[in-house]
Protein backbone atom coordinates (compact mmCIF):
# COMPACT_ATOMS: atom_id res chain seq x y z
CA UNK A 1 0.00 0.00 0.00
CA UNK A 2 2.75 2.49 0.94
CA UNK A 3 5.34 1.00 -1.35
CA UNK A 4 4.61 3.51 -4.11
CA UNK A 5 5.02 6.44 -1.71
CA UNK A 6 8.43 5.29 -0.54
CA UNK A 7 9.73 4.08 -3.89
CA UNK A 8 11.30 7.47 -4.74
CA UNK A 9 13.72 7.32 -1.79
CA UNK A 10 17.00 5.52 -2.11
CA UNK A 11 18.00 3.89 1.15
CA UNK A 12 16.00 3.94 4.35
CA UNK A 13 13.00 6.27 4.59
CA UNK A 14 13.85 7.18 8.20
CA UNK A 15 17.43 8.10 7.30
CA UNK A 16 16.04 10.52 4.74
CA UNK A 17 13.65 11.95 7.32
CA UNK A 18 16.51 12.51 9.82
CA UNK A 19 18.54 14.24 7.11
CA UNK A 20 15.62 16.54 6.35
CA UNK A 21 15.19 17.27 10.07
CA UNK A 22 18.89 18.24 10.42
CA UNK A 23 18.68 20.52 7.39
CA UNK A 24 15.57 22.23 8.74
CA UNK A 25 17.22 22.69 12.15
CA UNK A 26 20.21 24.33 10.47
CA UNK A 27 18.02 26.53 8.29
CA UNK A 28 15.77 27.64 11.15
CA UNK A 29 18.58 28.28 13.60
CA UNK A 30 18.84 24.95 15.37
CA UNK A 31 15.72 24.95 17.48
CA UNK A 32 12.30 26.18 18.32
CA UNK A 33 11.40 29.80 19.01
CA UNK A 34 10.92 31.13 22.55
CA UNK A 35 7.72 30.24 24.38
CA UNK A 36 7.16 33.78 25.65
CA UNK A 37 8.44 37.32 25.64
CA UNK A 38 10.90 36.68 28.50
CA UNK A 39 11.87 33.18 27.46
CA UNK A 40 15.01 32.35 25.55
CA UNK A 41 15.41 30.15 22.51
CA UNK A 42 15.85 26.45 23.14
CA UNK A 43 19.52 25.59 23.19
CA UNK A 44 20.59 28.83 24.88
CA UNK A 45 23.54 28.00 27.08
CA UNK A 46 23.91 28.16 29.96
CA UNK A 47 20.39 28.33 31.38
CA UNK A 48 20.02 31.02 34.04
CA UNK A 49 17.64 31.72 36.93
CA UNK A 50 17.54 35.15 38.58
CA UNK A 51 15.95 35.83 41.97
CA UNK A 52 15.89 38.86 44.24
CA UNK A 53 15.40 39.74 47.90
CA UNK A 54 15.44 43.20 49.50
CA UNK A 55 19.14 42.63 50.34
CA UNK A 56 20.56 41.00 47.21
CA UNK A 57 20.11 39.58 43.72
CA UNK A 58 21.02 35.92 43.11
CA UNK A 59 21.90 34.64 39.65
CA UNK A 60 22.11 30.86 39.19
CA UNK A 61 23.99 29.70 36.12
CA UNK A 62 23.49 26.00 35.34
CA UNK A 63 26.87 25.14 33.88
CA UNK A 64 27.46 21.45 34.50
CA UNK A 65 30.70 20.08 33.16
CA UNK A 66 32.48 23.42 32.92
CA UNK A 67 35.82 24.18 34.49
CA UNK A 68 35.15 27.13 36.85
CA UNK A 69 38.56 28.56 35.94
CA UNK A 70 37.37 28.95 32.34
CA UNK A 71 34.29 30.98 33.27
CA UNK A 72 34.69 34.74 32.99
CA UNK A 73 32.48 37.08 35.02
CA UNK A 74 32.28 40.83 34.73
CA UNK A 75 29.91 43.47 36.01
CA UNK A 76 29.66 46.97 34.67
CA UNK A 77 27.02 49.27 36.08
CA UNK A 78 24.04 46.92 36.22
CA UNK A 79 25.06 44.45 33.48
CA UNK A 80 26.40 41.07 34.56
CA UNK A 81 28.25 39.16 31.84
CA UNK A 82 29.02 35.44 32.04
CA UNK A 83 31.18 34.01 29.26
CA UNK A 84 33.45 31.09 28.53
CA UNK A 85 33.71 28.01 26.38
CA UNK A 86 32.76 24.36 26.51
CA UNK A 87 34.33 21.53 24.58
CA UNK A 88 32.29 18.38 23.99
CA UNK A 89 33.97 15.16 22.98
CA UNK A 90 32.61 13.91 19.68
CA UNK A 91 33.67 10.46 18.59
CA UNK A 92 34.64 10.29 14.94
CA UNK A 93 33.39 6.72 14.47
CA UNK A 94 29.84 7.48 15.72
CA UNK A 95 26.96 8.65 13.54
CA UNK A 96 24.98 11.05 15.75
CA UNK A 97 21.26 11.34 15.13
CA UNK A 98 20.94 14.25 17.54
CA UNK A 99 23.48 16.28 19.51
CA UNK A 100 21.85 18.60 22.04
CA UNK A 101 24.77 19.19 24.38
CA UNK A 102 26.15 22.67 23.81
CA UNK A 103 29.73 23.10 22.69
CA UNK A 104 31.71 26.21 21.81
CA UNK A 105 31.86 29.78 23.03
CA UNK A 106 29.02 31.22 25.11
CA UNK A 107 28.10 34.61 26.50
CA UNK A 108 25.09 35.59 28.58
CA UNK A 109 24.32 39.13 29.73
CA UNK A 110 21.87 39.72 32.58
CA UNK A 111 20.46 43.15 33.35
CA UNK A 112 20.39 43.66 37.12
CA UNK A 113 18.33 46.23 39.05
CA UNK A 114 19.78 49.74 39.24
CA UNK A 115 20.34 49.53 43.00
CA UNK A 116 22.95 46.72 43.00
CA UNK A 117 26.45 47.39 44.28
CA UNK A 118 29.02 46.23 41.67
CA UNK A 119 31.73 46.22 44.36
CA UNK A 120 29.92 43.58 46.44
CA UNK A 121 29.73 40.50 44.21
CA UNK A 122 30.39 36.92 45.31
CA UNK A 123 30.58 33.88 43.00
CA UNK A 124 30.63 30.18 43.98
CA UNK A 125 30.69 27.11 41.74
CA UNK A 126 29.38 23.89 43.22
CA UNK A 127 27.88 20.75 41.68
CA UNK A 128 27.63 22.32 38.23
CA UNK A 129 25.82 25.45 39.41
CA UNK A 130 27.48 28.86 39.49
CA UNK A 131 25.80 31.08 42.08
CA UNK A 132 26.48 34.79 41.74
CA UNK A 133 25.27 37.01 44.58
CA UNK A 134 25.19 40.77 44.08
CA UNK A 135 24.38 42.81 47.18
CA UNK A 136 22.13 45.83 46.95
CA UNK A 137 23.42 49.24 48.02
CA UNK A 138 22.79 50.07 51.67
CA UNK A 139 21.13 53.33 50.65
CA UNK A 140 18.61 51.44 48.50
CA UNK A 141 17.57 48.92 51.15
CA UNK A 142 14.29 49.45 52.93
CA UNK A 143 14.73 50.67 56.49
CA UNK A 144 12.43 51.17 59.43
CA UNK A 145 11.83 54.77 60.46
CA UNK A 146 10.76 55.48 64.02
CA UNK A 147 8.01 58.05 64.45
CA UNK A 148 8.48 60.32 67.52
In this structure, are residues 84 and 70 in contact, taking their beta carbons and an 8 Å threshold?
yes
In this structure, are residues 130 and 84 in contact, taking their beta carbons and an 8 Å threshold?
no
CATH architecture of the domain formed by 41-140: Sandwich (2.60)
Q: What is the pLDDT of residue 97?
A: 76
Exposed/middle/buried for 126, CB within 10 Å: 0-12, 13-18, 19+? exposed
Each residue's pLDDT expressed in tens, for the chain with a length of 148 residues: 555 555 555 567 777 877 787 777 666 655 555 545 455 555 578 899 999 998 999 999 998 888 888 899 999 988 999 999 887 777 788 887 777 777 788 899 999 999 999 999 999 999 999 999 999 988 766 778 889 8
Q: What is the pTM of this model?
A: 0.64
Amino acid sequence: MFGSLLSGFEGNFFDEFRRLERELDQFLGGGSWPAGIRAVRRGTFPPINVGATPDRVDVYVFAAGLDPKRIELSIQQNLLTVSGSRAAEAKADVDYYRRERFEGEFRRVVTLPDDVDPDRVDAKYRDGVLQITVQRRESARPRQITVN
